[in-house]
Amino acid sequence: MSADLRAVEVSRGERVRAVVRGVGEVLITAGLVLLLFVAWQLWWTDVEANRAQAAITDDLHELWGDEARKPRPAPTAEPAEPPPPPPDYGPPPEVPDPESGSAFGIVHVPRFGADFQPRPIVEGTDLALLEDGVGHYEKTALPGQVGNVALAGHRVTYGRPFNLIAELVPGDAVVLETADAWFTYRMRSSTIVTPERVDVVAPVPEQPGAVPTERLLTLTACHPMYSARERFIVYSVFESWQPKSAGEPASLALPASALPAPDGSTSSTTGE
């Protein structure tokens, strides 16, 4: 009798132990899956998106019949001469309406440095589309048009095209390349807004309903990084355009201040 009881006790103890062990294993597994998810989000989406976006950029160059780009010469440490005023080619050309989801341009941001991979511009801002590059808000202006060209890009994950958006300073070039032309915009200001502020992509930003007279460009990205609480907004103004046949615009040159400077004493090299 007592032996039987002990056997029951033992088997119950084993069952309890098995359940506890099972629950522990499930919890450990869940933790590992969450860690894997973070690795996937922060690392693998970059790997995949960088590869996909480079392929799309190559396809665009091929489609547009661009000659293979020579790698831009490494910038010298001397402060650059002020660039000559860009030549005037008249009013900017019309960019044909892109199909939803298709890539129709490439964005270059010299401030982001020589390592920055120029990113495709795709029509639309769905999350899935932003894996292919930066998204052009549908129904906003097209490059060169009067109004506001609005582009959304990831600041982290999926190739993070706008990772360094907060580094832009007024006067920095944002260059949009299309099939036939280069459009140079100059950064004017930045702001931080809440996500529902759609007026930042209005034809006249922050004045919904106003009739635009300027040619503007607005970039949007998440803010702070790794958060959806706010959006980082950069406004730029159209400066010039040039046809592809005229070659690359001078505005693609890396800004001199983007060069690594020994403890910020860049100006002393030209002084007495």
Partner 1 sequence: MYGWLWGHLPGPLVVRLLTALLLVAAVVAVLFLWVFPLAAPLVPFNDNTVE
* Binding to partner 1 in span 41-70, by CB under 8 A: 41, 44-45
What residues are annotated to the active site? 154, 222, 231
* 187, 231, 241, 258: which one binds partner 1 (CB under 8 A): 231
* 49, 107, 144, 162: which one binds partner 1 (CB under 8 A): 162
* 200, 217, 254, 258: which one binds partner 1 (CB under 8 A): 200
Identify which of 259, 211, 251, 215 has the alpha carbon closest to the alpha carbon of residue 236: 215
* 164, 193, 204, 253: which one binds partner 1 (CB under 8 A): 193
* DSSP per-residue codes, the chain: -HHHHHHHHHHHHHHHHHHHHHHHHHHHHHHHHHHHHHHIIIIIHHHHHHHHHHHHHHHHHHHHTPPPPPPPPPPPSSPPPPPPPPP--SSPPPPPPPPTT-EEEEEE-GGG-TTPPPEEEEE---TTGGGSSEEEPTTSPPTTSSEEEEEE--SSSTT-TTTTGGG--TT-EEEEE-SSEEEEEEEEEEEEE-TT-GGGGSSSTT-TTPPP-SEEEEEEEEESTT--SEEEEEEEEEEEEEEGGG-S-GGGSPPGGGS--GGG--GGGT--
Among residues 170 and 195, whose Cβ is nearest to partner 1? 195
The 243-272 contact track toward partner 1, x by CB under 8 A, reads: ------------------------------
We find the least distance from the C-beta atom of residue 158 to partner 1, in angstroms, to be 7
Among residues 125 and 145, whose Cβ is nearest to partner 1? 125
Among residues 119 and 154, whose Cβ is nearest to partner 1? 154
| Choices 17-25, 76-84, 180-188, 264-272 (CB under 8 A): range interacting with partner 1 | 17-25
CA pair distance 136, 133, nearest whole angstrom: 10
CA pair distance 21, 14, nearest whole angstrom: 10
Among residues 47 and 169, whose Cβ is nearest to partner 1? 47
196 binds partner 1 (CB under 8 A): yes
The 121-160 contact track toward partner 1, x by CB under 8 A, reads: ----x-x--x----x-x--------------xxxxxxx--
Q: Can you give the binding site for partner 1, defined by CB under 8 A? A: 21-22, 25-26, 33, 36-37, 40-41, 44-45, 125, 127, 130, 135, 137, 152-158, 162, 193, 195-198, 200-201, 220-222, 225-228, 231
